[in-house]
């Protein structure tokens, strides 16, 4: 076991919480701000770097000064400067946000099925008679059900599986994509995304962003979707061809798009996604609900494993970029 280890970090100290007190053998050193690093402020070499994983000139220098292990507090790793990575092990906080994200996804599906947009009463309506008012009040709004409907999940990692578990509990049929399909107790797993979405009422994008998954949801996939389907993106904006989505929304092929992620972020003023009548847009918040607790505990576990010389959790494959 290492007796004394230097750890550099570029995050806010609040994110680390009580880790410095829990690991007295580790010297936690906050690096200068990115602009100072980029300007060439000297950096003493250290075996560990903790960052949020966003590419920048300063982060590149921090990576180059790290000898053994780099950890990203983020779940997504697509913005990490892989070209700067050498022989260091890279880990990320994979899986730590699955629970709040799966609840957000379920909420969007309920929102659509139960027509929350247009079934809540917000004003008094005048009717010609009390009988007419009563008939209108008790009229069947033809709400949908999640039970018996189908959800396609593009990407069957921790988030995708979390969505599948909740969907299964609601009596939904689950179809999911994975590069190497295998039997699963709650989902039909296939390799082909077009096959997965063909009968889906809801399509959830939960795949990692890699060079191979850019525009995973393109014009071809959108055309293969069931007319009137609901598209949900909680992964990365670049996985969806937004112009192809616009065509599908305008035609009604996609009846609703619930987007927690878009490209670019933030969207510029006047962007069409802000006011399209079939779009519900949020600002990359589906992960919210647990603070940094899960990410911090994963980091703590990995520090323990590093000090003991054990294999780390959440290792990223630089070739696959996730």
Confidence check: pLDDT of 59 > 80:
yes
Q: What percent of the chain has pLDDT over 90?
A: 87
Residues 6+ apart with CB under 8 A from 139: none
First to last CA, the chain: 29
**pLDDT at res. 290:** 86
Confidence check: pLDDT of 3 > 70:
no
Confidence check: pLDDT of 159 > 90:
yes
Residues 179 and 186: their CA atoms lie apart, in Å, by 17
**pLDDT at res. 1:** 46
Q: Determine the average pLDDT of the residues in 78-93.
A: 94
236 is catalytic: yes
Phi and psi torsions of 150, nearest 5°:
-120, 135
More confident of the two residues 125 and 21: 21
Write down the catalytic residue from 111, 278, 284, 321.
284
Q: Determine the average pLDDT of the residues in 84-109.
A: 96
Under the banding of pLDDT at 50, 70 and 90, the label for residue 40 is confident
Q: Determine the average pLDDT of the residues in 154-182.
A: 96
Residues 6+ apart with CB under 8 A from 115: 141, 143, 144
Q: What percent of the chain has pLDDT over 70?
A: 98
Tokens of 48: 């560990």
**pLDDT at res. 2:** 52
Write down the catalytic residue from 220, 243, 265, 304.
265
Domains of the chain: 5-96+290-308 (3.40.50.720), 98-281 (3.40.50.720)
**pLDDT at res. 36:** 85
- Per the prediction, the chain carries an average pLDDT of 94
Angle (nearest 5°) at CA 209 between 203 and 210: 130
Neighbours of 234 (CB within 10 A): 25
Write down the catalytic residue from 161, 236, 256, 294.
236
Q: Determine the average pLDDT of the residues in 127-141.
A: 93
Q: Determine the average pLDDT of the residues in 200-219.
A: 96
Give strand pairing partners of 251.
Answer: none
Confidence check: pLDDT of 184 > 50:
yes
**pLDDT at res. 104:** 98
């Amino acid at each position: 076991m290492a007796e004394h280890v230097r750890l550099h970090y570029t995050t806010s100290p609040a994110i680390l919480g009580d880790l410095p007190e829990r690991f007295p053998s580790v010297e936690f050193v906050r690096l200068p701000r990115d602009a100072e690093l980029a300007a060439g402020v000297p950096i003493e070499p250290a075996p560990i770097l903790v960052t949020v994983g966003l590419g920048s000139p300063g982060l590149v220098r921090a990576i180059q000064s790290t000898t053994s292990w780099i950890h990203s507090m983020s779940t997504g790793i697509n913005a990490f400067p892989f070209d700067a990575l050498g022989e260091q092990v890279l880990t990320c906080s994979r899986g730590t946000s699955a629970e709040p994200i799966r609840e957000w996804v379920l909420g969007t599906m309920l929102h659509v099925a139960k027509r929350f947009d247009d079934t809540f009463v917000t004003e008094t309506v005048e009717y010609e008679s009390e009988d007419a008012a009563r008939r209108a009040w008790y009229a069947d709004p033809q709400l949908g059900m999640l039970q018996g409907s189908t959800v396609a999940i593009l990407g069957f990692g921790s988030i995708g599986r979390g969505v599948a578990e909740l969907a299964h509990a609601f009596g939904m049929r689950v179809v999911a994509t994975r590069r190497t399909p295998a039997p699963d107790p709650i989902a039909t797993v296939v390799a082909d995304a077009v096959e997965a979405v063909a009968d889906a009422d809801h399509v959830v994008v939960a795949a990692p962003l890699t060079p191979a998954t850019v525009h995973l949801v393109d014009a071809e996939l959108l055309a293969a979707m069931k007319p009137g389907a609901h598209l949900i993106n909680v992964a990365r904006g670049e996985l969806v061809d937004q112009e192809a989505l616009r065509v599908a929304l305008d035609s009604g092929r996609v009846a609703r798009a619930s987007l927690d992620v878009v490209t670019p972020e933030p969207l510029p003023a006047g962007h069409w996604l802000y006011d399209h009548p079939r779009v519900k847009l949020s600002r990359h918040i589906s992960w919210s609900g647990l603070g940094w607790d899960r990410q911090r505990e994963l980091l703590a576990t990995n520090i323990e494993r590093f000090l003991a010389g054990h294999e780390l959790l959440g290792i990223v494959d630089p070739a696959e970029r996730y």
